[in-house]
Amino acid sequence: MTMPPPVARTLEVLAALEPEAIEALAVLARIPSVSAPGFDPAAVRRSAEAVRALLLECGLERADVVDLDGAPDAHPYVVGEWRGAGADAPTLLLYAHHDVQPPGRASHWATPPFEPTVRADGRLYGRGVVDDKAGVVVFAFAIRAWLDATGALPVNVKVIVEGEEEVGSGHLARFLAQHRARLAADVIVLSDTANLEAGLPSITTSLRGLVNVDVEVRALDHPLHSGMWGGPVPDAPTALARILARLVDDAGEIALPALAADAPGLTSEERDALARLPFDEAAFRADAGLVDGARLAGASGAEVYERLWRRPSIAVTALE
């Protein structure tokens, strides 16, 4: 299939810009924009300012760091736009986020998390270089490359870069409501997704939602010595374990009929598409860190992908 000339020219420009794009990513990744409580919120604001500057450098007509009205504890958003395609052209909204997770234990890092480093495998390592500051850079340099190659974008483009995705996007709905008109668009593209494997371009067509539930089991109003009271007195951890054990069956299937029934089925075309995707079980196990003897749910690559992308799942993320 012949590639349209504007796309071909844009890809040529983008290839030439790759070293500059990698450096721009490193600049963003040096900012410790951890949005979790207990970390410096000023770093998240510095990150927002750096994202704003990058978007303007790459050709957006306007970009602003925007705070949520009435929420002094909210981290800042970045909103930008290029409206040169005209009022009759469709509008594309691009979403990414610039906040990151805490780096965890320094001893688990081969190189400092906020000093982006190209290691021996040729890849850049650092907190946020993938999730999701790479998404910011991809959008910015795609815009720049198209503008450099053709002089104008084929559609109007708006950008929103969030500062709270890693803490659950608690203020996003309010922000969207406050800025509904400015962010109105015909199509939305998110960069906070993943490619199937390195070197294989991928487009994510759907994402599962998320519900967090805290379960507290209380049996006693003060601690007791198990040797003196164990037996007749109920044990809260054991009760909690029984609750958790009933969430899934021995095959890893969700044991809550109402939740399983809500899952949309796959069309035959979707099943065929999943079956055509490459799947290396050994590589998958290694990437996930499965220990020897741990069983992977899914009889085939297609079923594994269906479980990942289309079926509901239940995971216990913390015990206290």
The domains of the chain are located at: 5-190, 226-309
Q: Please state the rounded mean pLDDT for residues 235-252.
A: 92
Q: Which amino acid is at 228?
A: M
**Token duo for residue 213:** 């539930």
- In this prediction, residue 244 has a pLDDT band, given cuts at 50, 70 and 90, of very high
165 catalytic per annotation: yes
In this structure, what DSSP letter does residue 53 have? Answer: H
pLDDT for residue 221? 94
Number of Cβ within a 10 Å radius of residue 165: 21
> What's the whole-model pTM score?
0.87
Among 21, 24, 4, residue whose Cα is nearest residue 142 = 21
pLDDT at residue 1 greater than cutoff 90:
no
Q: What is the pLDDT of residues 293-312, one digit of tens each?
A: 998 888 899 999 999 988 88
The CATH code that applies to domain 5-190 is 3.40.630.10
Domains 5-190 and 226-309 equal at CATH topology level: no
pLDDT for residue 241? 95
pLDDT for residue 208? 84
**Token duo for residue 297:** 């749910």
Report the range of poorest mean pLDDT among 117-126, 150-159, 306-315.
Answer: 306-315
- In this prediction, residue 315 has a pLDDT band, given cuts at 50, 70 and 90, of very high
61 catalytic per annotation: no
pLDDT for residue 104? 95
Q: How many CA atoms lie within 13 A of 214 on its CB side?
A: 3
Given 81, 99, 131, 148, which residue is catalytic?
Answer: 99
Given 81, 131, 165, 166, which residue is catalytic?
Answer: 165
The CATH code that applies to domain 226-309 is 3.30.70.360
Q: What does 148-185 look like in DSSP terms, one character per residue?
A: HHHSS-SSEEEEEEES-GGGT-TTHHHHHHHTHHHH--
pLDDT at residue 128 greater than cutoff 80:
yes
pLDDT at residue 262 greater than cutoff 80:
no
Pairwise pLDDT comparison (204 vs 166), residue with the higher score: 166
